[in-house]
Amino acid sequence: MPVRIALDAMGGDFAPGNEVAGAVQALKLVPDDAEIILVGDETALVPLLRASGSPARISVVHAPDVVTMSDEPSSIVKQRKTSSLYVGIDLMREGKADAFVSGGNTGAVMATATMMCGRIQGVSRPTIGSFFPSRGNRPCLLMDIGANVDSKARFLVDFAIMGEIYCKLIQGVERPRVALLNVGEEETKGTEVVQEASAMLRARPINYVGFCEGRDILSGKFDVIVCDGFEGNIVLKFAESVLGFLKDKLKSYAKGSILRGLAMAAVAPMLKAALKDMDYQEYGGVPLLGVNGVVIIGHGSSSPKALANMIRRAVEVVDRDVNGHIRAAMASPTTPTARQA
């Protein structure tokens, strides 16, 4: 059966233009029979689609209302049933779409998808991760990055299990190295929660390698780094602010000197190219894992290219049955020994 992806066509900052363009681009990235459903205001979407040649595999489902970045996440399910966010997730719940992709309000997507689709059996908390660039040849998945705060140890264990499966099936890492984020590598370091989670993870049939520190996120030594959403969110937002900070520092240094200005102009494209793999748009969004459904979330300012990559990513998550693997892992006994028995 062909994979059908519902795209929140009104969610992003440049909606629906970027969303329609992204859907058209995505057709070249996904299998020949995959279908894309644009969810949003049809009076805006239909003309845009027509201008793109009305591709046969892109359809429109009307949803007149738009959830904005300032809307309260928990209010959508009850009060915003004609929004593109609600209608898109509802298509997935009803089996009319296999996945939902949005560049909209992350908290609202997460809350609505969790409430409407429910959790995969055995999952304590759904989670969102984010990819960090690394010194290695692939990015590092940090998770959770803000969906959950005050996480209990078993939540962290579930994040680790789900992150490992995602990394294996989607990033193609054969044996992902999974670590817990902490203030030191020694066994005695850290909070009670990470201590407990570490002990629990050692009993799991995954490649859990122990604690790591903040400096290890970019190191390339780990494929999945697990943490509570509190520190995950703080370090993600800090990281996102660093490049802008550095650019401004360099700019203000170059100002007032023609020579420095010229050197800056020469090096600017170089900086950009060298930092290309710090560009989240390349990663195809971030997954919401643990819900009964496939949800890929992107930045509000996602470009058409980023949205196309998110759609491709959603198809992969469906095709490779990430949720089936999560379901199986959650149902399996906790220790390798027990599993063999």
List residues binding a copy of itself (CB under 8 A).
133, 135, 146, 149-150, 181, 183, 190-192, 213-219, 227, 229-231, 233-242, 245-246, 248-250, 252-254, 260, 263-264, 266-267, 270-271, 273-275, 277-278
Q: For a copy of itself, give the closer residue by CB, 301 or 335.
A: 301
For residues 117 and 153, give the distance between their C-alpha atoms in angstroms, rounded to a whole number. 24
CB of 170 to a copy of itself, least distance (A): 24
Q: For a copy of itself, give the closer residue by CB, 64 or 220.
A: 220
Q: For a copy of itself, give the closer residue by CB, 51 or 270.
A: 270
For residues 88 and 9, give the distance between their C-alpha atoms in angstroms, rounded to a whole number. 9
Q: For a copy of itself, give the closer residue by CB, 133 or 304.
A: 133
Half-sphere exposure of 75 (CA within 13 A, CB side): 9
CB of 243 to a copy of itself, least distance (A): 9
Burial 245-284 (b: 16+ CB within 10 A, else e): eeeeebeeebeeeeeeeeebeeeeeeeeeeeeebebbebb
Query: Which phi-psi region, left, alpha or beta, contains residue 226 (left: φ > 0; alpha: ψ -120 to 50)?
Result: beta
CB of 213 to a copy of itself, least distance (A): 5
Q: For a copy of itself, give the closer residue by CB, 28 or 215.
A: 215
For residues 120 and 156, give the distance between their C-alpha atoms in angstroms, rounded to a whole number. 16
Return all residues near 197 (Cβ < 8 A) that are at least 6 apart.
153, 154, 156, 157, 160, 180, 226
Q: For a copy of itself, give the closer residue by CB, 242 or 331.
A: 242
For residues 27 and 46, give the distance between their C-alpha atoms in angstroms, rounded to a whole number. 17
In whole angstroms, how far apart are CA 303 and each of 13, 149, 162?
A: 10, 30, 28
CB of 84 to a copy of itself, least distance (A): 24
CB of 105 to a copy of itself, least distance (A): 13
CB of 273 to a copy of itself, least distance (A): 6
